[in-house]
Structure 1
Amino acid sequence: MEPVSENPFVPPGAPRPAPTPDSGSHEPGRPPLGPPPVGYVSPTGYAPSAPPPSAQPATAGPHVQGPFGTAPAHPQHQGSERPGQAPLDGWGRPVPDQRQAPARGLGAGWMVLVLVVALIGGALGGWGAQTIATGTQPEAASTPLPTGTEAARDLGDLDGTAQIAAQVLPSVVAIEVRGDQGAGTGSGFVLRADGYILTNNHVVSAGAGAGTRIEVIFSDGSQSTAEIVGRTAEYDLAVLRVDRDGLTPLPLADSDQVVVGDPVVAIGAPLGLQGTVTTGIVSALNRPVSAGSMDETAFINAIQTDAAINPGNSGGPLVDARGEVVGINSAIAQPPGVPGAAPGSIGLGFAIPSNQARRTAEQLIETGSATYPVIGVLLDSRHTGEGVRVATEGQPGQDPLTPGGPADLAGIEPGDIILAIDGRPVTQADELIVAIRAKAPGDSAVLTVRSGQEEREVRVVLDEVEAG
């Protein structure tokens, strides 16, 4: 907050300095005339100061100062009083003979008094006019203003986002991780009533080492220590478990039924603000997103949303209009050209589809690890032309094509260009990888392949590889 300059006027109730002594005589019992008392503040907050007598507006002809301004002087004030009658002042009252005293106008102190009286009088006049116009009595000013219904609201009275939030919030948790390798926070939600919780791998990866403590904070403020059941960097998912029963799980919707434009609600703990609710729509589907570090890169066939997602939302649910989970909030876009800048929501958030999350979570709960599908090829990341090219050279311990793998069995050769998968064009290696990993091992895929000048379609059955 910027510093505020001191008020040159003393606040009401503060000690006031004594008024300047009057330079002339005054009537007995009347306060000495002088400058206005310090500390006067008008009802508008503006603190006026009375101008000196010389600053009063000059008007033609003799005038006197009265309680409501300047008025023409009465003839008797100009020496025309009747014999034996004492002269009258500007207030119409007899005054002592001042022929020996210097002439002066009304003191500045009285100017302040006149102003106060005028303001109060104006306020009373307006009040009186309102009373006459409305026909009400003064007591009507204390009549209470109308209020809304005092009936308590329950879940059945809510609609739209409020009802979804009330339904989902009890099942959403905040997660705090502290370990030797670092600390982090994120979100998650109840997957099963017996204590299983789903979140992102990158939320708990800081706590993968010994001595790590993971705390789960529920919507009612209670906390429980959690253990990692299983996690996979390839899909950026992790399952935790707390020693609790009777939790309320969130149902996982069929993400294949999601369409662009569907309304969605994101719930989580962005920047540690637990229970934050934001709304938006599904902006796009099948966005190829690669996130994470070079050691742990996740390839996500993501749902894009414009619901505000910020750091700390990771692992929280993206739910549809029925309150069912369609995605797990995992990543946000960062404006290009600002590496290292603290990312925040720019309306480009990405969630792992619920169908992928369901399949992976079931594997993690059952075996502690997950698998992902492959076609058994190395891809040339230096290729910049159309499609994605199969590498012509292998790497240590790996051939361009896995002998006996899906691509090898389908007749694909090193140097072939893969143009599309299931009719969906691919132009980058990540797009092909994401499209493959969106399937399950054992599923089939149709690849459009170019060998030299010849194009053909081949069907491959995806192989299974255990995630590291």
Structure 2
Amino acid sequence: MSDERDPADPWQPPDQQPDQQPDSTGPVDVEHTRELSGSPVPPAPPTSSWWADEPTGWPATAPGPAEATGWPVPSAADAPPASGVADPAYAGSPQAAGQAGSGAYAGQAGYGAQDAAWAASQPAPTTADRRTGPGWGALVAVAAVASLVAAILGGLFGGWLGATNRVDFSSLDRGQTTIPRAGAGATARPSGSIASIAAAALPSVVTIKVKGADGAGTGSGFVIDHAGHILTNNHVVAGAAAGGSITVELSDGSQVDATVTGHDGSYDLAVIKIARTDLPPLTMGISKDVVVGDPVIAVGAPLGLESTVTSGIVSALNRPVSPGGDGNTQSFINAIQTDAAINPGNSGGPLLDMQGHVIGVNSAIARVPGTTDTQSGNIGVGFSIPSDQAVKTAEQLIKTGKAQHPVIGVVLDRQYSGAGVRILQQKTASSGDPVDPNGPAGKAGIKAGDVIVEFDGRRVNAPDDLVVAIRAKNVGDHVSMKVRRGSQTISVTLVLSGTSGS
């Protein structure tokens, strides 16, 4: 007995064909990730209306040399008309002919004589009058000072504002505006940074283009040794395994042909080879030392965009993930979950730790429950095959072209919905005996109908949970198992045997 799956269970094909959709095969609905084929000029500010009501009779001329009194010295052209007729151009000007008295409206001929006659007709002020307020002399003096100030301000603003009534800022010193700019930089990044790790890893990561009977697709892979071997997912190259072509595009854009060395659908891993021995391999890390929260970097060709780098963290460990399709291509992954962006086309690319070591091979992404799309994008839940499993399987594929699968020798009842995982209760035409008497479970005393509740200290509640837990072990490992038989719970120890798959 070579597998712990029900041979009659109908799985959908992998995502190599756009018109087919994988079923939900575990706690999450997952799918493989193979890719199917100069500054505007601001408007001028509005003209200010602040000076709109300014009298227009004031002469718009710059002040001339000052007399002892402070008044501008009139030129010959400024002389008042001899006729004595009022001239509006001189309204308010202290230079008007015949000025006398306050001078507030001096500027029309004859006003000075009238002021003198009026003053002469007034009675002389008494002492009491002088006590009640300022005399005429004081008032005249105040008026003269006011006129002087008005004349000075008028000449000042008259010259500054000019005929247009606008302030002329052209003569102001605006100074120099200096916008701060960074100095000359460098593209070198410190060791251990994402940029530094990506720069070192990118020459070893490739884009894989496949043409086969089921169509064309794109995936990712990475160099694992100096012999030209490249590790990727089985679902990336499976279409060309039985006839087709594989082209590998290197990070420098050059392309070379590749052949399949070995592939395994259960672990969803494959090794291909190119005729290049000068490419730097990535270092494989130890996935059992990874903990939740570790920062990670995903590299690959999502949507055909080669040499793409994303980052995130390890979100969870030991996720039982089973993407894929019908029996032979169904995958069972004891996955590393990450929120690093993984999209179709990332399949087969490396998941790196912050030392630049490979801790996983990106393989699948979660799909929103209830959606019917064959391919979806990243929603922050991606899955990678742990590097410990990838190394073991890659070595087997390079050596023999096949991978070994540890088994316990039972057929599982996938219709059972209670707690734990039940072994088939009776023999069927397609499955044979529910328990292989010569297999690990049969030798340990396991019987048909027993319910497995724990495997190697890990509770299991679905068939895929158990298969994933078994496949994470090695052939020859001693493992403990608890089974429920009726009202009893029995603990047993068994030695895993193996079978080869493809």
TM-score, structure 2 normalization: 0.68
Q: What is the identity, as a one-letter code, of the residue corresponding to 2:470? A: I
Distance change in 2, residues 1:433/1:75 (3 Å): closer
2:384 to 330, 341, 351: 351
Alpha carbons 1:378, 1:394 under 8 Å: kept: no
- 2:354 and 2:58 map into 1 onto residues whose CA distance is 87
Alpha carbons 1:161, 1:265 under 8 Å: kept: yes
Q: Does 1:461 align with 2:459?
A: no
2:295 to 248, 263, 272: 263
Unaligned runs of 5+ residues in structure 1 are 1-41, 51-55, 58-65, 89-113, 132-139
Q: Does 1:407 align with 2:390?
A: no
CA drift of 1:397 comes to 4.9
- 1:371 and 1:306 map into 2 onto residues whose CA distance is 30
Provide, for residues 273-325 of structure 1, a one-character-per-residue CA deviation record: whole Å limited to 9, x for no partner: 11111111111111000001124110000011111111111100011111100
Distance change in 2, residues 1:208/1:45 (3 Å): farther
Q: Does 1:433 align with 2:416?
A: no
Secondary structure of the corresponding residue to residue 202 of structure 1 = helix
Distance change in 2, residues 1:348/1:75 (3 Å): closer
- 1:162 and 1:413 map into 2 onto residues whose CA distance is 56
- 2:374 and 2:57 map into 1 onto residues whose CA distance is 81
Provide, for residues 215-257 of structure 1, a one-character-per-residue CA deviation record: whole Å limited to 9, x for no partner: 1111111211111111111000010100001211111111111
Unaligned runs of 5+ residues in structure 2 are 1-39, 60-79, 90-161
Provide, for residues 406-439 of structure 1, a one-character-per-residue CA deviation record: whole Å limited to 9, x for no partner: 1111111111110001111100000000000001
Provide, for residues 73-131 of structure 1, a one-character-per-residue CA deviation record: whole Å limited to 9, x for no partner: 4289xxxx95699987xxxxxxxxxxxxxxxxxxxxxxxxx9x9969x45x47x62x43
Task: Give the match for residue 221 of structure 1.
Answer: 253
2:332 to 275, 278, 299: 299
Q: For 1:272-287, what aligned pairs fall within 5 Å after superposition?
A: 272-287=304-319
Q: Which has the higher contact order (CA 8 A, sep 6+)?
A: 2
Secondary structure of the corresponding residue to residue 332 of structure 2 = strand
- 2:433 and 2:414 map into 1 onto residues whose CA distance is 15
Distance change in 2, residues 1:72/1:335 (3 Å): same
My pick for the range that moved more, 394-403 or 383-392, is: 394-403
Task: Give the match for residue 55 of structure 2.
Answer: 72
Alpha carbons 1:181, 1:209 under 8 Å: kept: no
Q: What is the identity, as a one-letter code, of the residue corresponding to 2:377? A: G
Q: For 1:88-103, what aligned pairs fall within 5 Å after superposition?
A: none
CA drift of 1:69 comes to 4.0
Task: Give the match for residue 452 of structure 1.
Answer: 486
Q: Does 1:313 align with 2:346?
A: yes
Alpha carbons 2:57, 2:88 under 8 Å: kept: no
Task: Give the match for residue 26 of structure 2.
Answer: none
Q: Does 1:44 align with 2:50?
A: no
Provide, for residues 155-186 of structure 1, a one-character-per-residue CA deviation record: whole Å limited to 9, x for no partner: 6x454211211121111111111223211111
Provide, for residues 356-392 of structure 1, a one-character-per-residue CA deviation record: whole Å limited to 9, x for no partner: 0011101110111112011011111111111110111
Provide, for residues 6-29 of structure 1, a one-character-per-residue CA deviation record: whole Å limited to 9, x for no partner: xxxxxxxxxxxxxxxxxxxxxxxx
Q: For 1:6-405, what aligned pairs fall within 5 Å after superposition?
A: 43-45=41-43, 69-74=52-57, 121=168, 124=170, 128=173, 130-131=174-175, 140=176, 145-150=180-185, 152-154=186-188, 157-210=190-243, 212-295=244-327, 296-340=329-373, 342-395=375-428, 396-405=430-439
Alpha carbons 1:265, 1:318 under 8 Å: kept: yes
- 1:345 and 1:144 map into 2 onto residues whose CA distance is 41
CA drift of 1:341 comes to 5.8
Secondary structure of the corresponding residue to residue 450 of structure 1 = strand
Distance change in 2, residues 1:74/1:303 (3 Å): same
TM-score, structure 1 normalization: 0.72
Alpha carbons 2:450, 2:485 under 8 Å: kept: yes
Secondary structure of the corresponding residue to residue 312 of structure 1 = coil
Q: How many residues align?
A: 368
Q: What is the identity, as a one-letter code, of the residue corresponding to 1:44? A: P
Q: What is the identity, as a one-letter code, of the residue corresponding to 2:221? A: G
- 1:386 and 1:144 map into 2 onto residues whose CA distance is 69
Secondary structure of the corresponding residue to residue 261 of structure 1 = coil
Higher-Rg structure is: 2
CA drift of 1:350 comes to 0.5
Distance change in 2, residues 1:73/1:356 (3 Å): same
Q: What is the identity, as a one-letter code, of the residue corresponding to 1:72? A: P
- Following superposition, which runs of at least 4 residues in structure 1 exceed 4 angstroms of deviation? 45-48, 81-88, 116-119
Secondary structure of the corresponding residue to residue 427 of structure 2 = coil
